[in-house]
Structure 1
Amino acid sequence: MRPISEEDLTTRARIRDAALGLFAEQGVKATTIRGIAEAAKVSPGLVQHHFGSKEALRRSCDEYVLAYLRDQVNAGITEHNLEKPEFIESVHRTAPPLMKYLGRALVEGSPAAATMFDDLVRLTEEHLASDEPGSDDDHRARAAVLTAMKLGITVLHEHVSRALGTDMYAQQGALRVSKAQLDLIRPEFLGRDLFEQARTGLEKYEGQR
């Protein structure tokens, strides 16, 4: 087997990104290999060379989005980057196409969307905290509901954007949505330290706009 060249990796990523956009906009069923090839500016044969089939390409998109979400949770929470405006800027810049894809996948009932939802619930549950040691709070239920609320905004992004009068994935819209989400969450729910990190990061980021 020949080694994968840097050019192959770039082409593969371009095809994947084109598929992400079309799957999010049109849904998987309405999207064709030819349409993906046109969006990526490659031949249909090259799409099939890299991915084999539309279903395999969809799975690759699923894996990419799930890996992105895990990386962002790890970088933001585990590595304590939530209070850094450059981290927030990076998320606001890179997340929109992936979140739109996830929103469509949730609506279409993709098996991978179920996996992503469950994974986000698990990650959220791990990071929920109580100010009272020994509390019997049902973190599983809270994590499931919080995840559903956050992803619900993604599914309804067109309506949220209309209500705000601006694209919620654009810079100013994303900032407004992030601040509103934080305003609706009690500090005790996330843990005081995590809550303050998030608040500080948003304030610093807003101050740079």
Structure 2
Amino acid sequence: MGEDAPEETTWVRIRDAALAQFAEHGERGATIRGIAKAAEVSPALVQHYFGTKESLRQACDEYAIEVFRRAEHEALDGGMGDPGFMAVAMRAGVAIRRYLARVLVDGSPRAAALFDDAVALNKELLQRDDPGMSKPTTDDLHAYSAVMMGMGFGLVVLHEHMSRVLGADTLSPAGYRRLALAALDVHMDVLLSEELAEQARASLKDLPDDET
């Protein structure tokens, strides 16, 4: 059935099947045979397009970061205020979020590279002059970007706990909607007074570099 499909369609179907298999079984548990079965093609065809499982995993990583990059740019270019864009982005991102939830706890060099790429992209976007967005006031933009990505990806990695306490799968559209709305509230609220924030900042800067 899948063997007669157009090349591009087959390639994409194999990659998408691999995303799901890596998300469910991890890099070690996922197999060429299992990916081929999920994509409804032969293992030989998977190897024809991608060669090895390593190459297939790399293609999935590249796709994940590209989807993330495109979504970030489109969101800041007006998509965030467009219900149509938000609906499409939410549906398209479910598979990517499931994949990232597994990849980011694998401890592989690829996971590290993917996170580093995301931090670099976020740092780049924070320096743009986009309507509706303010530039950060931090004097350590790299750390600021890293913390933002850590918080965002942390919600993905902790999706089982988040889903349990929210009563809905946060990797599904319904659960993600509630999670994203709460995240927007967190970004909008200013919980600390300026005075308290300055006191905390001064205390942190006075901390010694070691425990002695």
TM-score (norm 2): 0.79
Are 1:8 and 2:10 counterparts? no
* CA drift at 1:84: 0.5
Q: What's 1:44 paired with? A: 43
* CA drift at 1:75: 1.0
For 1:168 and 1:136, the matched residues in 2 are separated by: 30
Are 1:67 and 2:81 counterparts? no
Aligned letter for 1:123? Answer: L
Match runs of 1:22-41 below 5 Å: 22-41=21-40
Compare 48-57 and 110-119 and name the one that shifted more: 110-119
Residue identity (%): 45
Q: What's 2:90 paired with? A: 92
Q: What's 2:100 paired with? A: 102
* CA drift at 1:105: 1.1
* CA drift at 1:33: 0.8
* CA drift at 1:49: 0.7
* CA drift at 1:125: 2.1
For 1:72 and 1:132, the matched residues in 2 are separated by: 19
Q: Is the 8 A contact 2:14 2:46 kept in 1?
A: yes
Are 1:153 and 2:178 counterparts? no
Distance 1:132-1:154 versus aligned 2 partners, 3 A rule: closer
Q: Which runs of 5+ in 2 are unaligned?
A: 128-132, 191-212
RMSD between aligned residues: 2.2
Q: What's 2:53 paired with? A: 54
Q: Which runs of 5+ in 1 are unaligned?
A: 189-209
* CA drift at 1:6: 7.4
Are 1:116 and 2:114 counterparts? yes
Q: What's 2:176 paired with? A: 174
Aligned letter for 1:175? Answer: R
- Which of structures 1 and 2 has the bigger CA Rg? 2
CA displacement 1:8-66 (0-9 Å, x = unmatched):
11111111111100101110111111111111111111111111111111011111111
Q: How many matched pairs?
A: 182
Aligned letter for 2:187? Answer: I
CA displacement 1:115-156 (0-9 Å, x = unmatched):
2211221222233379699x5532221211110011011111
Q: What's 2:193 paired with? A: none
* CA drift at 1:104: 1.0
* CA drift at 1:169: 2.4
Q: What's 1:203 paired with? A: none
TM-score (norm 1): 0.80
